[in-house]
Structure 1
Amino acid sequence: MTNASTAPIVDQITARLTRDLAPTRLEVTNDSHHHAGHMGDDGTGETHFTVIVESPRFAGLSRVARQRLVNRALADLLETRIHALAIRAHAPGDA
């Protein structure tokens, strides 16, 4: 079994957002290869990500409030392991 702190970042992001947001749709994409050699690239290949998440928890919330919920779930990873995170957060039925 892999220790959560040493699991691939995509797996950690997926587990945390699943736990905290109970998403109806969740896609986590590692975009790090597009940023190799750029600022924020630590050589691990796990620094830049895109998250597309749909959750009932986002209903009635602003875009900023939705992003804050995602950021809160990933707070320590954003401080230590994730350099860039693009977030697309939707509630079910959003246009």
Structure 2
Amino acid sequence: MLQEVIETKLHEAFEPEYLKVVNESYMHNVPPGSESHFKVIVVSDKFDGLRLIGRHREVNKVLADELANHIHALSMHTYTQAEWKAQNESAPDSPMCMGGSK
């Protein structure tokens, strides 16, 4: 299952305080059971001192194979522990897909 692979890789790379991987494929015009659209929330000390683009590059490196071969879209929310607490330990909801038949 692709979601489990993503969770394992992110956990090993970032040792997060909080990690959530959500399969949002159901929100898009894809066959039932698809694993093509994901949202990840990663809270890690390893993001300290990195700007947002640097954090996203690090996630992209970790998931390079999945992004090249399986994932169509990846929404990333990357926080330090202080930022996560300032966000009231929540990330924004993803919008519903406006394309296709949805």
Q: Deviations over 1:21-60 (max 9, x none)?
A: 11110000000011124xxx7x651000000000100001
Name the CA distance, whole Å, in 2 between partners of 1:70 and 1:78: 10
Match of 2:49, SS state, is coil
- 1:21 is matched with 14
Match of 1:61, SS state, is coil
Runs of 4+ in 1 over 3 A off after TM superposition: none
Number of aligned residue pairs: 84
Q: TM-score, normalised by structure 1?
A: 0.83
- 1:93 is matched with 82
Question: What is the Cα-based RMSD across aligned positions, in Å?
Answer: 1.3
Q: Which stretches in structure 1 are left out of the alignment for 5+ residues?
A: 1-7
Q: For 2:59, which of 70, 80, 86 is the aligned residue?
A: 70
Q: TM-score, normalised by structure 2?
A: 0.78
1:32 maps to 2:21: no
Identical counterparts, % of pairs: 37
1:12 maps to 2:1: no
